[in-house]
């Protein structure tokens, strides 16, 4: 039973530390499919090895023989999957990678062949009359071949890591350390065939992989994810800035006609679906812009437009303001500004009246609220507000101000 404890602990440790690998939706490891297959084959090996200790202790000869056969098959499969994982993980196509996979396959088929031959002649192992296990010559050949394979893989990967950096260096270094651990364990197993040293090698090697591969790969994944989120945030910021520029009037800084047309489409959709909230539309027109351009120049006209836009924004602070034409503005009033619309329009007209007395910019304005009983679309509200605005412009004309 003492022999079996190592195998049982190895199975538990592999399952605990590699839970993310077995949960496919959480693994971030490159070549994860091959690594998962390798881990499963290692766990299968540990199970057969632990079972071997129990059967050997109780001298269940027939079962022990069968388990030993499965033991060598699991060993061969784990070596093949190890070679497959290394090739995918190192992402290489050098002569070493090609020779490694070839070596793993040769060892696998050779071991399967010797297992078959062992039924006829004890070249791999045999059990005596008392149920005692005895190693055959081929067993030493197989283990020696694995030592050479792991030694060569370690020499190669250490060589590559010494002239590399970053993830390439880390990956090759890890594979090299695993190879050294397995090589030493197998070498000890040759001299002590009745100790679970091969299992100890896989256990130590698995811990090395988890520490220096899985955890580091998670850190790399998180780093890449953070960089990706950073790029995405930057792109959104740039997109937002571009959208802001595309929907902003460059002269006044308020929203432009394109933004107003989209807002109108959205309001029409809400009205059609009968889910529109209370709103009003205020329409404004700068008085005397043509006269200003003709007498003082277009720079003075542009300044008058800017002043008009600021005047509207100062009064309707909680509403989006749009420049919808050369000297035309509009605002969509909701919530606080909607409920205070009459007071706001009164404040606006009062400010314009003061400007008239001071000979400053005059802006005509009109406001109309949405009435579900008569308004089938946004344009209907806009037209009523526009009509009120023109009544205000007529007032300007009546007192002798230019209307255009």
Q: What number of residues does the chain have?
A: 404
Which of 177, 209, 229 marks a domain boundary? 229
- Per-residue pLDDT tens over the stretch 278-314: 999 999 998 877 777 778 888 888 898 999 999 999 9
Q: What is the pLDDT of residues 40-79, one digit of tens each?
A: 999 999 999 999 989 988 888 899 999 999 999 999 999 9
Position 248 in a domain: no
Do 211 and 288 reside in the same domain of the chain?
Answer: no
pLDDT for res 248: 86
276 in the same domain as 172: no
Q: What is the mean pLDDT of residues 85-111?
A: 83
Encode pLDDT of 311-331 as tens digits.
999 999 999 999 998 889 999
285 found inside a domain: yes
Of 61-65, 126-130, 228-232, 272-276, the one with minimum mean pLDDT is: 228-232
Residue finishing a domain among 191, 212, 229: 229
Could you tell me what percent of the chain has a pLDDT over 70?
Answer: 89
Q: Which residue has the tokens 């250490």?
A: 158
pLDDT at position 403: 52
Asked whether residue 168 is assigned to any structural domain, the reply reads: yes
Residue 389 lies in a domain: yes
- Domain membership of residue 139 (yes or no) is yes
The residue from 211, 229, 247 where one domain ends is 229
What's the chain's average pLDDT?
86
Cα separation, 167 vs 270, in Å, equals: 54
**pLDDT attached to residue 73:** 94
Give strand pairing partners of 125: 135
Lowest mean pLDDT among 37-41, 85-89, 324-328: 85-89
Do both 178 and 49 map to the same domain? yes
Residue 20 has pLDDT above 90, yes or no: no
Are 98 and 196 found together in one domain?
A: yes
Q: Are residues 183 and 272 in the same domain?
A: no
Mean pLDDT along residues 221-241: 66
| Range(s) of the domain holding residue 210 | 2-229
Domain membership of residue 34 (yes or no) is yes
pLDDT confidence of residue 313: 92
The residues with which 126 forms a beta bridge, in sequence order, are: 134
Count of domains in the chain?
2
pLDDT of residue 236: 67
Question: What is the dihedral sign for C-alpha 376, 377, 383, 388?
Answer: positive
- CATH number assigned to the domain comprising residue 51: 1.20.1070.10
How far CA 341 is from CA of 278, 279, 345, in Å, comes to: 12, 10, 6
235 is a domain residue: no
Confidence at 253, pLDDT banded by 50, 70, 90: confident
The CATH number given to whatever domain includes residue 330 is 3.30.70.270
Look at residue 325 in the predicted model and tell me its pLDDT.
Answer: 87
Res 399 pLDDT > 70: no
Q: Are residues 207 and 291 in the same domain?
A: no
In a domain, 298, yes or no: yes
Same domain, 261 and 224: no
Reported as a pLDDT band with limits 50, 70 and 90, residue 380 is: very high
- List Cα–Cα distances, 184 to 14, 165, 198, in angstroms: 20, 27, 9
Cross-sheet strand order for the sheet of 279-286:
321-323, 328-334, 279-286, 363-369
Identify the pLDDT of residue 242. Answer: 55
pLDDT at 386: 93
- Backbone dihedral angles phi then psi of residue 30, each to the nearest 5 degrees: -60, 150
What pLDDT is stored for residue 260 in this prediction? 92
The set of residues, in sequence order, having a beta carbon less than 8 Å from that of 373 and lying 6+ positions away, is none
Pair 192, 282 in one domain = no
Do 266 and 169 share a structural domain? no
| Residue range 154-183: mean pLDDT, rounded | 87
**Does residue 298 sit in the same domain as residue 186?**
no
Residues 211, 273: one domain? no
223 shares its domain with 263: no
- Statement: residue 117 has pLDDT above 90: yes
Percent of the chain with pLDDT over 90: 43
């Amino acid at each position: 039973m003492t022999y079996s404890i190592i195998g049982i602990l190895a199975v538990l440790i592999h399952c605990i530390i590699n839970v993310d690998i077995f949960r496919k939706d959480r693994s971030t490891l490159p070549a994860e499919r091959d690594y998962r297959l390798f881990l499963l084959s290692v766990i299968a090996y540990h199970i057969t090895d632990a079972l071997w200790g129990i059967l050997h202790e109780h001298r269940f000869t027939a079962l022990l023989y069968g388990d030993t056969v499965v033991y060598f098959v699991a060993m061969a499969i784990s070596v093949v999957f190890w070679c497959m994982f290394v090739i995918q993980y190192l992402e290489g196509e050098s002569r070493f990678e090609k020779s490694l996979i070839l070596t793993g396959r040769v060892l696998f088929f050779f071991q399967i062949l010797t297992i078959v031959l062992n039924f006829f002649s004890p070249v791999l192992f045999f059990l005596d009359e008392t149920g005692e296990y005895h190693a055959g010559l081929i067993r030493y050949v197989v283990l020696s071949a694995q030592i050479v394979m792991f030694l060569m893989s370690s020499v190669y990967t250490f060589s590559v890591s010494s002239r590399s950096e970053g993830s390439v260096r880390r990956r090759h270094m890890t594979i090299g350390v695993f190879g050294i651990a397995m090589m030493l364990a197998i070498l000890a197993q040759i001299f002590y065939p009745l100790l679970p040293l091969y299992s100890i090698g896989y256990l130590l090697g698995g811990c090395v992989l988890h520490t220096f591969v899985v955890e580091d790969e998670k850190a790399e994944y998180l780093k890449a994810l953070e960089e990706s989120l950073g790029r995405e945030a930057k792109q959104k910021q740039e997109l937002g800035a571009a959208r802001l520029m595309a929907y902003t009037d460059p002269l006044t800084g308020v929203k432009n006609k394109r933004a107003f047309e989209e807002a109108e489409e959205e309001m029409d959709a809400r009205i059609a679906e009968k889910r529109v909230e209370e709103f009003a539309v205020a329409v404004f027109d700068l008085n005397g812009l043509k006269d200003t351009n003709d007498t003082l120049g277009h720079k003075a006209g542009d300044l008058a437009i800017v002043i008009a836009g600021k005047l509207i924004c100062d009064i309707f602070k909680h509403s989006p303001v749009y420049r919808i034409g050369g000297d035309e503005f509009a605002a969509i009033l909701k919530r606080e500004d909607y409920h205070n619309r009459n007071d706001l329009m009164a404040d606006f007209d009062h400010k314009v009246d003061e400007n008239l007395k001071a000979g400053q910019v005059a802006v005509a304005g009109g406001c109309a609220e949405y009435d579900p009983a008569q308004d089938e679309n946004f344009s209907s509200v806009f037209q009523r507000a526009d009509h009120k605005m023109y009544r205000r412009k007529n007032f300007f004309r009546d007192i002798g101000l230019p209307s255009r």
